[in-house]
Amino acid sequence: MKRFRLRHLPRWLGLITHLVAFPTAHAALPWALSLTAVRHGWIGGRPSIGNLLGLIPVAVGVYVLFWSIRVHFTAAPNGWDLERTPHYPTPSYLLTNGPYRYSRNPLYLAELAVWLGWIVFYGSLVVLGVLAVAVLWLVPVIMRHEERGLEARFGEAYREYKRITPRWFGRAT
């Protein structure tokens, strides 16, 4: 197997990333974007009952995000060893348990649920537009690179995981 450059990321850096970057990207950014346009469904500066229903996918998404992060932290008790493959930096472990049993991309699904929830909660077409642009970039570019990196790193083990686990959501066979 070809060796790739190794980079170690300590646990504290992962913790800071998850405590700062995730809330900023998935809570503060949608809120700030929602301030730039009309909030549909809001009356007197408050969300309607219909808007409040958006908090359900936000809560589900946050739960799956934390579940996924916990699985990553459990798999890397001493931090993350990432190898830079020709396609994407990949971790030294292949997750197939927890939410990764039902989706090869539970973090992306969780982020999608959170953003869809904010779209409903804020009633914001601006937030919808930003999500649409992000998805159009994420799926064909980022996810394809990640998958090629995982296949380069884990070979047959990843191909088998890919065969039995759906990209988005379903039951592992």
pTM for this prediction: 0.86
Percent of the chain topping pLDDT 70: 91
State yes or no: pLDDT of 9 exceeds 80: no
* Residue 170 CB contacts under 8 Å (≥ 6 apart), including other chains: 102, 103
In angstroms, how far apart are the furthest CA atoms of the chain? 63
The CA distance from 31 to 14, in Å, is 24
Bigger pLDDT: 143 vs 63: 63
The CA distance from 35 to 29, in Å, is 10
With cut-offs at 50, 70 and 90, classify the pLDDT of residue 17.
confident
**Residue in this structure with the two tokens 């394809």, named with its chain if needed:** 144
Bigger pLDDT: 69 vs 11: 69
Count of positions (residues) in the chain = 173
State yes or no: pLDDT of 1 exceeds 50: no
Q: Give the mean model confidence (pLDDT) for residues 8-18.
A: 79
